[in-house]
Amino acid sequence: MNDSLTASDLRCVIQMQDAGFKFSRLHRNLPPPSLIEAAIHRHEGELSTTGALSVRTGKFTGRSPDDRYIVDDGLTHDSVDWGKINHPMSPDKFDQIFNRMKRSLEGKEAFVFDGYVGAEKESRLPIRTITDNAWHNLFAMQIFIRPTPSELLSHNPSFTLLSIIDFQACPEVDGTKSETFIILNLTKRLVLIGSTSYAGEIKKSMFSVMNYLLPLKDIFPMHCSANIGRDGRTALFFGLSGTGKTTLSADPERRLIGDDEHGWSKNGIFNFEGGCYAKCINLQRSMEPQIWNAIRFGSVMENVILDQNREPDFDDESLTENTRVAYPIEFIPNAVLPSIGNHPDVIIFLAADAFGVLPPIGRLSKEHAMYHFMSGYTSKLAGTERGITEPQETFSHCFGAPFMMLKPREYADMLGKRIGEHNSKVYLINTGWVGGPYGVGRRMNLQHTRSMVKAAVNGDLEKVSYTRHEIFNVEIPVSCPGVPDYILDPINTWSDKQKYLESAKRLAFLFVKNFEKFGSMPVEVIKAGPRKQ
């Protein structure tokens, strides 16, 4: 531990010793400059010309979903939605790995961050993050909610996350699929991460924990960004990676509540986090000035290539297309602190449709919203993953299937209930292609998308007429301020109308086929989906 111990630090040491940890030196809640200094001294990263710490994550430049496990015990056996996403692990195997991890740390240096997940004080989760390197602890400090000095004095974690990047599992002994693992133990309130440097695992592990715990308190956990206008109107943005959640919520005319994870309680909405984790690939100052300016001293860049002068090259994807930056939310001008907001007036679902057939914007009823929430549609592009040579549809329930612990219906029912209670308006926006599929058509104009979002959140779209799309069964506005009328119906942008109809019917069929996996559902929700062709 550091040379001068406070009573709070001493309690932390005793708690760690009682849990079986025997570190040679423990650093607790070091300020960012000290963590950056330690990371550079330990050769974990280097400073870029922006002032941000630049690091590389090695073999893993993204999450490893096949290596994620949940301990199957009396608490979780009948409540977790087991299957392709939530893989079970026995309590014995968990204990086996945890005990070896503790032994591997004996006599070594470690870093601790004590903080919170959840900006709403009534429901926040006190957490402890233990890492074996400095930059991961800096990441945790910037992503999670930092305690005030007085809160730190009385901090008592109710969930602990342990990340050791060079600790490997033994698949033959531990029952894992590889040397890498992310294990959630809800009973012992522990998360173990090993053999991966990708910091997103730290962030998303705690998101998964909240997705299990909060519904027990009748709080709806959401994979979405959120902002609020000067008029107090709050908006939520749901969407998978690459659909524009971070970009569209970082609006200079509105205040950012959070860019990725939120809860919806009886009081309103609140951010789970104290920071943002934005994509950097092809980042341009002119298009995303708030994110660009947030990349400064205190931020952490992952896998962004630096030139010989340490200037970031945001267009270079030689390491990965999934380049990232983590920074505290206060780096965004006019961010809401604490990160809480009113019940949402508007909810926006974002889909990057690479087939170019979804309407640029459609209005959804409560039942439509539940259908599209459970569908969680977007599309992957050629080249973004090994083996993908053409656009591929992706359905990820609740717009975040890899992090959802319960059955999709449980989350959808919470959404539907709240839409009904608060009369939230819901829209589906296509941030993908128009005029044809990827490779033929063009990407939706970002300024047009921003205009659609603006019209939705300020209420302008409540004043226009609508027509119903015969295939996708959503209401299309006949006009939208700042957007040419003809592009609002996607068939108008295709030169070959017959090809549009064929492509649209194909995607509609995929929606229907995907939804069948949910089994018995209310008839009105099923009927709200695309028309079966």
What digits encode the pLDDT tens for the residues 53-93? 999 999 999 999 999 999 999 999 999 999 999 999 999 99
Residue 235 located in a structural domain: no
Domain contains 290: yes
Q: What's the confidence (pLDDT) of residue 287?
A: 85
The answer to whether residue 96 sits within a structural domain is yes
Q: Could you tell me the two tokens for 438?
A: 């990827």
**286 and 152 co-located in one domain:** no
H/E element holding 475? Answer: strand 475-477
Q: Minimal CA–CA distance to 203: which of 283, 152, 145? A: 145
Question: Which of the listed residues 198, 217, 236 is the one where a domain comes to its end?
Answer: 217
R_g of the chain, CA atoms, integer Å: 23
Say yes or no: 41 and 133 in one domain.
Answer: yes
- Which residue of the set 114, 132, 260, 345 is catalytic? 260
Residue 382 has pLDDT above 80, yes or no: no
Q: Is 324 a catalytic residue?
A: yes
CATH number for the domain that contains residue 155: 3.40.449.10
Same-domain status, 158 and 199: yes
The model's pLDDT over 137-163, given as tens digits with 9 standing for 90+, comes to 999 999 999 999 999 999 999 999 999
Q: With beta carbons less than 8 A apart as the criterion, state whether 469 and 403 touch.
A: no
168, 200, 217 - which closes a domain: 217
Average pLDDT for residues 394-415, to the nearest whole number?
A: 97
Neighbours of 192 (CB within 10 A): 24
pLDDT at 411 over 50: yes
Domain shared by 358 and 480, yes or no: yes
Q: What is the mean pLDDT of residues 492-518?
A: 96
Mean pLDDT of the chain: 94
State whether 324 and 405 are in the same domain: no
CATH of the domain at 300: 2.170.8.10
**Tokens matching residue 110:** 């470690």
Could you say which of 27, 28, 63, 454 is catalytic? 63
Is 247 catalytic? The answer is no
- Angle made by CA atoms 130, 132, 133, in degrees to the nearest 5: 110
Identity of the amino acid at 33:
P
300/357 same-domain check: no
Is 63 one of the catalytic residues? yes
CA angle, 140 as apex, 174 and 218 as ends, to 5°? Answer: 80
Range of the domain at 289: 279-331
Predicted confidence (pLDDT) at residue 3 exceeds the cutoff of 60: no
Is 80 found in the same domain as 23? Answer: yes
Report d(CA 122, CA 214) in Å as an integer.
Answer: 12
Q: Please indicate, yes or no, if residue 533 is contained in any of the structural domains.
A: no
Is 258 inside any structural domain? no
Residues 31 and 110 in one domain: yes
* Contact call for residues 303 and 57 (beta carbons, < 8 A): yes
d(CA 443, CA 473): 23
Token look-up 């609002």 returns 488
**CA–CA separation, 353 and 175 (whole Å):** 38
Q: Which of 146, 155, 324, 418 is catalytic?
A: 324
Do 147 and 289 fall within a single domain? no
251 pLDDT band, cuts 50/70/90, is confident
β-pair partners for 272 = none
Output the pLDDT for position 244.
Answer: 86
Residues 87, 244, 226, 328, Cα dihedral to 10°: 80
Residues 312 and 206 in one domain: no
Looking at residue 1, its pLDDT comes to: 46
Please confirm, yes or no, whether 245 is among the known catalytic residues: yes
Query: Nearest CA to 360 among 489, 479, 246?
Result: 489
The H or E element that residue 213 is part of is helix 200-213
In a domain, 505, yes or no: no
223 carries an active-site annotation: yes
Residues 321 and 360 grouped into a single domain: no
Contact residues for 476 (Cβ-Cβ < 8 A; gap 6+):
359, 361, 362, 363, 466, 467, 468, 469, 488, 489
Question: Cβ of 16: how many Cβ atoms within 10 Å?
Answer: 21
Nearest residue to 478 (alpha-carbon basis) of 356, 367, 361? 361
Domain end: 309, 331, 353, which one? 331
Position 5 scores a pLDDT of 67
Predicted local distance difference test score (pLDDT) of residue 525: 97
Q: Which of the following is catalytic: 128, 155, 245, 363?
A: 245
**164 to each of 101, 134, 325, 494, 506, how far by Cα in Å?**
8, 11, 21, 52, 46
* Over residues 117-130, mean pLDDT: 97
Catalytic-role residue among 93, 128, 204, 254: 204
Which one from 241, 243, 396, 431 is the annotated catalytic residue? 241
For residue 383, pLDDT over 70 is answered with: no
Structural domains of the chain, count? 3
Q: In which residue are the tokens 């839409």 written?
A: 419
Average pLDDT over residues 124-131: 98
Residue 347: strand pairing partners: 236, 426
Question: What does the pLDDT look like over 266-300, one tens digit per residue?
Answer: 999 999 999 999 999 999 999 889 999 999 999 99
Asked if residue 135 belongs to a domain, the reply is: yes
76, 176, 246, 379: which is the annotated catalytic residue?
246
- Per-residue confidence (pLDDT) for residue 54, from 0 to 100: 98
Is 530 inside a domain boundary? no
Pair (73, 170) in one structural domain: yes
Are 45 and 135 within 8 A, CB to CB? yes
* 120, 210 Cβ separation under 8 angstroms: no
